Structure 1
Amino acid sequence: MQAVPSDQRPHPPLGSYLSLPGFSPTALSMALGSRLRALRIAAGVSAREAAAEIGCSEAKISRLERGQSPPHVGDVSCLMRRYGAVAELETACELARKANEPGWWEDFGPAVPPWFDKFLGLQEAAELIRTYEVQLVPGLLQTEEYARAVTVSGVPLATPQEVSARVGLRKRRQELLQRSVSPTLWAVVDWPVLHRPLGSAGLMRRQLEHLIEMSSSPSIKLQVLPPDCLAIGTPVTLLRFGLPDLPDVVYLEHPTGANYIDKPEDTAQYRSMLDHLSMTALSPAQTVSELKKTVRSIR
């Protein structure tokens, strides 16, 4: 069944966002910004008029409505009144206050690059995380020793303290899979990921055994592309949220940064690509069998 586009679904009460399973100032900024845009349009107020209301540029209104910067409570209050949305004014201001609170990842300081901050916030609030990996085991499924080997190999100039911070960050990220209301993780990995040596044979065996164990969770779906499949050459992560003010977001990481894509016509293409990969890949049961076979072959 095809999902109803987010802009055609009814908007839930703003208070719904205060009870998201994972606290995420990033998601709250996006949800509030999306709602402000919808209210502005419904009230027949132009972006220029909204900007004049709070004494800013149209560019700031655009950033606010796209959730690209934390909203100021005073600005939100003025705009909600201008749009005639006084019934939800207090809730909107509470969302604005929470959107300015620090996320847990800020405790990790330099271990979180500026371009990665948004992804962590979105991941915390996601209902579904679909990911495709071509080089490594997905971060949410890595063992600590595998994550350490990845960090040492990928950031050769990192100090031992920096390595530990990065590994600690990855372990903290994985806690979202242990929540009572956890997101669904649907991961497809390319065949070489299982066979690419990283560290010792024992390290790889334990990583694959961990994948087998994690695959038993009802909220985790793991698939492997067979070796005769033509795969795309770049990792992709698509995040979907349980409330309609938050559009699907595609995350594309590269060595020096990341791109975030949220236009429906663009995310639909990536979703179609991920659908094709999942239909081409081994089923979850076949994937577990292949993992067990690979574990037995490691010497």
Structure 2
Amino acid sequence: MSISPTVRGRVLARRLRNLRVDAGYTQKTAAEGLDWRQSKVSRIEAQEQYVSVTDAHALSSFYNVVPTERDLLVKLARDSKKKGWWQSYDDLIPEWFDTFVGMEAEASSVFTYESEFIPGLLQTEQYARATTKATVLDATRDDIERSVQLRMQRQERLSDPSELQLWAVMSEATLLRPVGDAAVLRDQLNHLTAMAEQPNITVQVMPFRAGGHPALGPFVQLSYPEEWHPDVVYLEIQAGAQWIEETPQVRKFRDVIEHLRAHALDPGDSIAAVKKRVGELDAEVHQLEEIDTKRRTR
């Protein structure tokens, strides 16, 4: 399992808050007992300040935790200060997406619903390049190439079924939208069918004929081993992102996920629909090649 400082930092902050509450302290009384400012306790629990190993030992002693919990807190403090591989892209991606990549890096399973594009974890380089050009209007050529590299690195965990389970439901629109040109889309859909053969990847298509459904837009649910982090839902919007973390709200998204799984084409029929679309694109690409050949011979 990959180690993500983003996840470890969030786990540490949550554990320290729960330990304080279980011990019967407020942030104020805990700060007084530790001879700290209250703002330090607040910032630690809000994950706005790194927890040093010394601080982890001090908090463990003050909250009178058992040695195994103390050792875990110290390990989390160390891990949360490490640099994630994606942080070399900090100058390229906004902070909210940096957080998402860090959270994705240690997830054990991902459910994603997409209404416009093939999910990033399943994109080819050419398709990723085309989507970046289309959606990031002020991106330079170098920005685009580095964005593609980032997306390809995110996909590496899919090569090991024990690392990451992916379930992707996508609107039928994603099979039709001409991202790049017909050849780019055809190659992307061929790649999608190949990826769906892996035991850790499930692909479903939500057909237009299914009508309306409760997914108002794209979202991602990230799940973790129980001891690390509860499930979270990520919603990306034009100017940022929203995290859904409260249990009742996450539970509502689980209901949405079950609805999508039940009403989309089953995995076998989904791949059949993708292959049918590939056939249509093959004919389109062949026709365009014939037109181009005739132009050249004139």
Q: Could you list the runs of 5+ residues in structure 2 that have no partner in the other structure?
A: 285-298
* 1:31 matches 2:14: no
Tell me the C-alpha RMSD between the 2 structures.
1.7
- Give the direction of change, closer, same or farther, for the CA distance of 1:190–1:68 in structure 2 (3 Å limit): farther
Match of 1:13 in 2: none
Task: Deviation per CA, 1:64-119: give whole Å up to 9, x if none.
Answer: 33545532333222111101125133442232021011110111232221111111
* 1:216 matches 2:216: no
Task: Deviation per CA, 1:184-229: give whole Å up to 9, x if none.
Answer: 1111101111011111111111000001000011111111101122
Paired amino acid for 1:110: D
Match of 1:151 in 2: 132
Paired amino acid for 1:194: L
TM-score, normalised to structure 1's length?
0.88
* 1:230 matches 2:194: no
Structure 1 residue aligned with 2:169, among 188, 195, 198?
A: 188
- Give the direction of change, closer, same or farther, for the CA distance of 1:176–1:54 in structure 2 (3 Å limit): farther
Match of 2:224 in 1: 241
Deviation at 1:32, TM superposition (A): 1.7
- Give the direction of change, closer, same or farther, for the CA distance of 1:252–1:69 in structure 2 (3 Å limit): farther
Task: Deviation per CA, 1:246-283: give whole Å up to 9, x if none.
Answer: 11111010111101111101111111111111111001
Q: Does the CA contact (< 8 Å) of 1:111 and 1:169 recur in 2?
A: no
Identical-residue share of aligned pairs (%):
36
Determine helix, strand or coil for the equivalent of 2:155: helix
Q: Does the CA contact (< 8 Å) of 1:24 and 1:99 recur in 2?
A: yes
TM-score, normalised to structure 2's length?
0.88
* 1:279 matches 2:259: no
Structure 1: distance between partners of 2:89 and 2:76:
24
Paired amino acid for 1:177: L
Deviation at 1:56, TM superposition (A): 2.9
Kindly tell me the number of residue pairs found equivalent between the two proteins.
278
Determine helix, strand or coil for the equivalent of 2:103: helix
Which deviates the most, 281-290 or 63-72?
A: 63-72
Match of 2:295 in 1: none
- Give the direction of change, closer, same or farther, for the CA distance of 1:275–1:189 in structure 2 (3 Å limit): same
Determine helix, strand or coil for the equivalent of 2:180: coil
Paired amino acid for 2:245: D
Structure having the higher Rg? 2
Paired amino acid for 1:255: Q
Structure 1: distance between partners of 2:161 and 2:265:
29
Q: Could you list the runs of 5+ residues in structure 1 that have no partner in the other structure?
A: 1-20
* 1:74 matches 2:54: yes
Match of 1:289 in 2: 272
Match of 2:45 in 1: 65
Paired amino acid for 2:38: S
